[in-house]
With several copies, the nearest count.
Chain A
Amino acid sequence: MIAPTVRVQAEDFDVVAEETRLTQGRRDIGAVVAFTGLCRDEAGTLHALELEHYPGMAEAEIVRVAEAALERWPLMGLTVIHRYGLIRPGARIVLVIAAARHRAEAFAAAEFMMDYLKTRAPFWKKTHRVDGAQGDWVEAKASDDAATARWDAKPSSPAR
């Protein structure tokens, strides 16, 4: 089983550099799925999101989820980068890249990683408002728990 690349950092990341690191010089990878999560602000009221994390546990928990994905699908590369600190609207928050022989595995593994990250990785978002007023902590969504739970019912390898 390959080792996942996991980083928790304040700095932005470079999607292509990370993708190249996984695929460079290889002839056995047929599918790469890269998920990028961005800071959204449709109302125009958000100055930034502040991402708080639990140092040490954040990395450890992402590695645990990544290892579960690697047990489940025959991946040839898996990279997860999650940022913390102040993140402005439009900026990148999280990156998951899954590389595999076939597309079904790469898609499933990347979506699995994101669903579990949302509910298990110790990060919390606080809003900073444009008007300077005290922002709220973003509340966890029941739909994220449901998205995580549906993997329990699924077979390890998609039947395609």
Chain B
Amino acid sequence: MKAVYFAWVRERIGVAEEEITPPASVQTVEQLVDWLAARGEGYAAAFANRKSVRAALDKMHVTTQTPIASAREIAFFPPMTGG
């Protein structure tokens, strides 16, 4: 699946998007965050405070408990500050 990152999540990870292939055991957004956070320093920094990172699956807001199932794109970003 494609992972996309925005704002300081993007800056800490160091890339705006990438293809990821999590193992089958990763089923929820939360499990995917755990898996990503273990990939390196930048990822660990991006997900250091879990509560301040939001996620979207295929461009819809989701919670940490949402199953990633057959989603093609997952996004991680800080709380929004538009408007």
Contact = CB atoms under 8 A, between A and B. Distances in A.
Contacts of B23: none
A142 to B, nearest CB: 10
Interface in A87-119: 93-94, 103, 114, 117-119
Given A54-B4, A122-B6, A139 B77 contact: no
A122 B80 contact: yes
A50 B61 CA distance: 23
Given A52-B6, A54-B4, A124 B77 contact: yes
A126 interface: yes
Interface in B41-79: 56, 59-61, 75, 77-79
Interface string A47-87: 00001111011101100000000000000000000100000
A120 B54 CA distance: 10
A60 B59 contact: yes
A140 B77 CA distance: 12
Nearest to A116: B83
A137 B46 CA distance: 14
Contact of A138 (B60, B77, B81): B81
Interface bracket on A: 20 to 34
A121 B80 CA distance: 7
Given A52-B7, A122-B6, A122-B56, A140 B83 contact: no
B40 interface: no
B80 A124 contact: yes
A54 B81 contact: no
A111 B11 CA distance: 33
A45 B50 CA distance: 31
A124 B83 CA distance: 9
Contacts of B82: 51, 53, 58, 82, 94, 117-118, 121-125
A140 B56 CA distance: 17
Contacts of A117: 82-83
Contacts of A119: 79-80
A93 B4 contact: no
Given A60-B60, A82-B82, 11 more contacts: A51-B82, A52-B6, A54-B56, A118-B83, A119-B80, A121-B82, A122-B56, A123-B82, A124-B82, A125-B81, A140-B81
